């Protein structure tokens, strides 16, 4: 991933140079994490820009603003227009990542909503493949940090402040020599990776955490499940435990940045049981989804028209 941002951003109701989109060091969202955001992929193909499931990301962002009590709303038409203008201004000729977020720039020292106003900002950066599986899949560690429950913070909101949970979990995993953290709830049920959703292939059955779990309702994982159903596979929603992961056929990891990758191991134990010699390697479900998703973003799939917003 390139450590650079595109020249122009949307800030304070207008398109400005990225370096000029700044806030006070006492900004409320900087102090208390009072933000909600989205992560959206854009693709450059045949001279055109296509953005993946833009309206679904918009809906989730507005729902998050509502759940968190920010009292901020922008219409879909205005949001789409702003995105289009920002893409045009940056004259994009490569795949990219878009980060729209709702935040409060007012300097405040109290974690209270009274008197606060929230607004929208958007920035972009080049992004090709975020995770490579050329040398193997993701090596997971079972995290000792638990995924927070909906009783503490709305789990269906992509809230900025809540990502300290992900920060702690993934930092701990990497400090111990792993790539990523697998997170559990307070009852020991598997929830998700630190910043991505999971799909389990268990006894040749597609299984994901149930809707009432504390997992974020990811748009990419929803797309992967729809692709599986499109190919005739039934999706089951159940509670998952660690033993199911260790004895699964495949564990897939999916999110905006990484798209779809596979897990090689959990706590040093290879994942996969169907063929002993192939444990920890890419399986048939991973290969299917990777192929299908590439067709989608290239405009070659039946679902491309439904999911891609062309600019």
Say if 132 falls within a structural domain. Answer: no
Query: Using CA atoms, how far apart are residues 39 and 127, in angstroms rounded to an integer?
Result: 12
Report helix, strand or coil for 17.
strand
Please give the C-alpha separations between residue 95 and each of 49, 91, 130, 208, in angstroms, as whole numbers.
8, 12, 11, 29
- Look up the CATH number of the domain holding residue 29: 3.30.470.10
Does residue 100 sit in the same domain as residue 195? no
Say if 78 falls within a structural domain. Answer: yes
Name the domain boundary from 85, 102, 126: 126
Convert the pLDDT of each residue in 86-133 to its tens digit: 999 999 999 999 999 999 999 999 999 999 999 999 999 999 877 777
Does residue 36 sit in the same domain as residue 142? no
Does residue 93 sit in the same domain as residue 36? yes
Does residue 156 sit in the same domain as residue 94? no
Does residue 145 sit in the same domain as residue 96? no
Say if 133 falls within a structural domain. Answer: no
pLDDT value, residue 1:
44
Does residue 149 sit in the same domain as residue 70? no
- Intervals of the chain under pLDDT 70: 1-3, 134, 273-280
pLDDT value, residue 141:
99
Inter-residue contact 74 to 36 (CB < 8 Å): no
20-28 long-range Cβ contacts below 8 angstroms, 24+ apart: 21/121, 21/123, 23/105, 24/105, 24/107, 26/107, 26/108, 26/109, 27/103, 27/104, 27/105, 27/106, 27/107, 28/104, 28/105, 28/106, 28/107, 28/108, 28/116
- Half-sphere exposure (Cβ direction) of 221: Cα atoms closer than 13 Å: 25
Q: What is the pTM of this model?
A: 0.94
- Look up the CATH number of the domain holding residue 213: 3.20.10.10
Q: How many domains does the chain have?
A: 2
Does residue 294 sit in the same domain as residue 160? yes
Say if 100 falls within a structural domain. Answer: yes
Does residue 230 sit in the same domain as residue 165? yes
Query: Using CA atoms, how far apart are residues 157 and 292, in angstroms rounded to an integer?
Result: 28
Does residue 253 sit in the same domain as residue 284? yes
Does residue 29 sit in the same domain as residue 119? yes
pLDDT value, residue 128:
84
DSSP 136-158: --EEEEE-SSPPPPTTTS-TTS-
Say if 303 falls within a structural domain. Answer: no
Say if 131 falls within a structural domain. Answer: no
Name the domain boundary from 126, 161, 187: 126
Closest by alpha carbon to 179, among 126, 133, 218? Answer: 133
Which residues, 6+ apart, have CB-to-CB distance to 193 below 8 Å? 138, 140, 180, 181, 182, 183, 253, 255
Say if 254 falls within a structural domain. Answer: yes
283 phi, psi to nearest 5 deg: -105, 180
Query: Using CA atoms, how far apart are residues 43 and 285, in angstroms rounded to an integer?
Result: 24
Name the domain boundary from 96, 126, 156: 126
Q: For residue 76, what are its two tokens?
A: 């879909």
Does residue 142 sit in the same domain as residue 288? yes
Report helix, strand or coil for 118.
coil
In eight-state DSSP terms, residue 203 is T
75 is in which domain, residue-wise? 8-126
β-bridge mates for residue 20, sequence order: none
Say if 306 falls within a structural domain. Answer: no
Inter-residue contact 27 to 148 (CB < 8 Å): no
Does residue 103 sit in the same domain as residue 64? yes
């Amino acid at each position: 991933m390139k450590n650079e941002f595109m020249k122009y951003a949307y800030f304070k109701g207008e398109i400005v140079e990225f370096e000029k989109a700044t806030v006070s060091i006492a900004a409320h969202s900087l102090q208390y994490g009072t933000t909600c955001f989205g992560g959206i992929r854009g693709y450059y193909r045949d001279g055109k820009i296509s953005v993946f499931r833009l309206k679904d990301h918009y809906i989730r962002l507005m729902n998050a603003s509502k759940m968190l009590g920010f009292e901020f709303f922008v219409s879909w038409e205005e949001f789409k227009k702003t995105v289009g203008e920002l893409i045009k201004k940056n004259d994009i000729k490569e795949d990219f990542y878009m980060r729209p977020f709702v935040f409060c720039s007012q300097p405040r020292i109290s974690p209270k909503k009274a008197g606060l106003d929230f607004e929208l900002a958007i920035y972009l950066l080049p992004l090709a493949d975020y995770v490579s599986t050329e040398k193997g899949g993701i090596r997971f560690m079972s995290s000792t940090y638990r995924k927070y429950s909906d009783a503490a913070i709305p789990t269906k909101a992509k809230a900025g402040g809540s990502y300290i949970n992900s920060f702690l979990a993934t930092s701990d995993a990497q400090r111990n020599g792993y790539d990523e953290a697998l997170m559990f709830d307070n009852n020991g049920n598997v929830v998700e990776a630190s910043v991505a959703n999971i799909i389990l292939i268990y006894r040749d059955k597609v299984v994901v955490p149930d809707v009432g779990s504390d997992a974020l309702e990811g748009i990419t994982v929803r797309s992967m499940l729809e692709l599986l159903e499109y190919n005739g596979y039934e999706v089951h929603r159940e509670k998952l435990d660690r033993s199911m992961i260790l004895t699964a056929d495949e564990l897939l990891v999916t999110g905006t940045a990484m798209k779809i990758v596979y897990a090689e191991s959990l706590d040093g134990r290879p994942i996969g049981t169907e063929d002993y010699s192939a444990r920890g390697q890419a399986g048939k479900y991973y290969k299917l989804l990777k192929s299908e998703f590439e067709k989608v973003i290239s405009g070659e799939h039946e679902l491309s028209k439904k999911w891609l917003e062309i600019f």
